[in-house]
Amino acid sequence: MSQNTAGSCLCGAVRFEVEGDFERFYLCHCARCRKDTGSAHAANLFSSSARLHWRSGQENVRSFGLPGTRHRRSFCAVCGSALPDLQMNGELLVVPAGSLDTPLALAPDAHIFTASRADWDHELQRIPSLARAPS
């Protein structure tokens, strides 16, 4: 059974739906994903069969491919949020998990490229977890 997944960017200008299933869910710690997300890792869902439908704001979607590499990302031109991107000549749909607004019944398959993880990205499960902002 296929799941329908919906998402949007932070400012709400861009909305999309994904029709179909995801095959892989990776947390990528490579240096390019760290740069492009500004965080410890990217969190991307991958599908070779699902279809992407832009529901609003498609004119605000921009894409960037790093020259000489296969690293690509799409983002909102207004707020910069990560958005779905079609890669490998349209054969692979990559959806940033953080862009989704509907529940996701999947857990990540793996951390990948951990050999490239940030030097502060070690044993993060050991630091305090606060349910809200620090006081």
Give the shortest CB-21-to-Zn ion separation in angstroms: 22
Work out which of 21, 23, 72, 78 binds Zn ion, going by CB under 5 A.
Answer: 78
> Is residue 11 a contact residue for Zn ion (CB under 5 A)?
yes
DSSP-assigned beta bridge partners for residue 44: 26, 96
Only segment of 4-12, 17-25, 85-93, 96-104 that touches Zn ion (CB under 5 A): 4-12
Choosing from 5, 7, 9, 75, the residue that interacts with Zn ion (CB under 5 A) is 9
Residue 45, interface with Zn ion (CB under 5 A)?
A: no
Among 27, 33, 45, 93, binds Zn ion (CB under 5 A): 33
Residue 30 interacting with Zn ion (CB under 5 A): yes
Length of the chain equals 135
Q: Under 8 Å CB-to-CB from 88, ≥6 apart: which residues?
A: 70
Q: Looking only at residues 53 through 72 of this chain, which bind Zn ion when binding is defined by CB under 5 A?
A: none
Buried b / exposed e across 21-50, counting CB within 10 Å, b at 16+?
Answer: ebebbbbbbbebbbebbeebbbbbbbbeeb
* Comparison of 2 and 88: residue with beta carbon closer to Zn ion: 88
Q: What single DSSP character describes residue 27? A: E
Paired with 64 in beta bridges are 73
Question: What separation in angstroms does the CA of 106 have from each of 22, 24, 32, 44, 109?
Answer: 9, 9, 24, 12, 9
Give yes or no for residue 79 binding Zn ion (CB under 5 A).
yes
Chain contacts with Zn ion (rule: CB under 5 A): 9, 11, 13, 28, 30, 33, 76, 78-79
